[in-house]
Amino acid sequence: MPSVLALFAHPDDIEFVAAGTLALLGKQGWDIHLMNLANGCCGSTTTSREETARIRLEEAKQAASHLQATHYHPIFNDLEIEYTQDAIKHLLGIIRKAKPTILLTHAPVDYMEDHMQTCRLAVTAAFAKGVPNYPEPRDRRYVEAYYGDIAIYHAQPHGNRTPLGQSVRPHLSVFVDEVMETKRAMLAEHRSQQQWLKESQGMNSYIQTMLDLGSEVADLFRLSLDKDPPGKFAEGWTRHLHLGFSAEPFDPLKDALGDLVVGIERELTVR
């Protein structure tokens, strides 16, 4: 079966911006793989780093179970995600084993460094999947090179804006109304975050924030095409240029989900 890999920074990032798309792919029979690169250890004002990381790992596993997804353990502490060879190689091993046709990750420009570093690591690891001399072939920890095509999609930045406040309109809107209960249930598994997000980022309800952001992406459809959107909630995706990842441009997300995926921005094409 085809597979999709979601590589995001922190526990609950996937649920905010990607869980609906993943749930829809799951309904189409896709094999789902999820990884948060950071362990969430700083996401509390009441528990220690170690206890917070333990709690958040269990919450992430529970969230992944809603999709019957393969879940991979984090490799960094919060605010410590770095673009390193060890991290690239770790992610490369996951990509070569999961063999995803679709890779979902953060926007290249987002509100915090952990998100942007995760994006860089994901893109480089995806590029290296078909490089047989990386890492050195004698290192038996890594499976053989994988040459299948892969499409990378970048999620909306937090708040649907760049750090300087510019609104971001994605290439594609995936309307997720039919799986919103799954998305809501997955985010609700991250119970430890209610107090933290309220105190640190002013989110009185992280569930409501997720709904508001999804509604705003749906409204971007109206602003772009001057017609009513086909649903109330959407997740936005911007496709990475195909060069280095597939011989020709292709859009497996659209192919898999059909009318639920609507293009709202003109994409860069190479002629």
Each residue's pLDDT, cut to its tens digit, for the chain (271 residues) gives 999 999 999 999 999 999 999 999 999 999 999 999 999 999 998 899 999 999 999 999 999 999 999 999 999 999 999 999 999 999 999 999 999 999 999 999 999 999 999 999 999 999 999 998 898 766 656 668 889 999 999 999 999 999 999 999 999 999 999 999 999 999 999 988 877 666 666 656 888 889 999 999 999 887 777 788 889 999 999 999 999 999 999 999 999 999 999 987 554 443 3
Q: Does any domain span residue 193? A: yes
Q: Does any domain span residue 270? A: no
Residue 9 near residue 81 (C-beta atoms within 8 A): yes
Q: Does any domain span residue 101? A: yes
Residue 194 is which amino acid?
A: Q
pLDDT at position 151, please?
A: 98
Q: Does any domain span residue 268? A: no
Q: Does any domain span residue 226? A: yes
Residue 244 is which amino acid?
A: G
Number of domains in the chain: 1
Residue 232 to residue 258: CA distance in whole angstroms: 17
Q: Does any domain span residue 90? A: yes
Expressed as residue numbers, the domain containing 154 is 3-263
pLDDT at position 55, please?
A: 97
pLDDT at position 270, please?
A: 38
Residue 38 near residue 191 (C-beta atoms within 8 A): no
Residue 105 to residue 203: CA distance in whole angstroms: 23
Residue 157 to residue 247: CA distance in whole angstroms: 28
Q: Which CATH number fits the domain that encloses residue 9?
A: 3.40.50.10320
pLDDT at position 229, please?
A: 87
Q: Does any domain span residue 269? A: no
Residues 6+ apart with CB under 8 A from 29: 1, 2
Residue 183 to residue 23: CA distance in whole angstroms: 8
Q: Does any domain span residue 132? A: yes
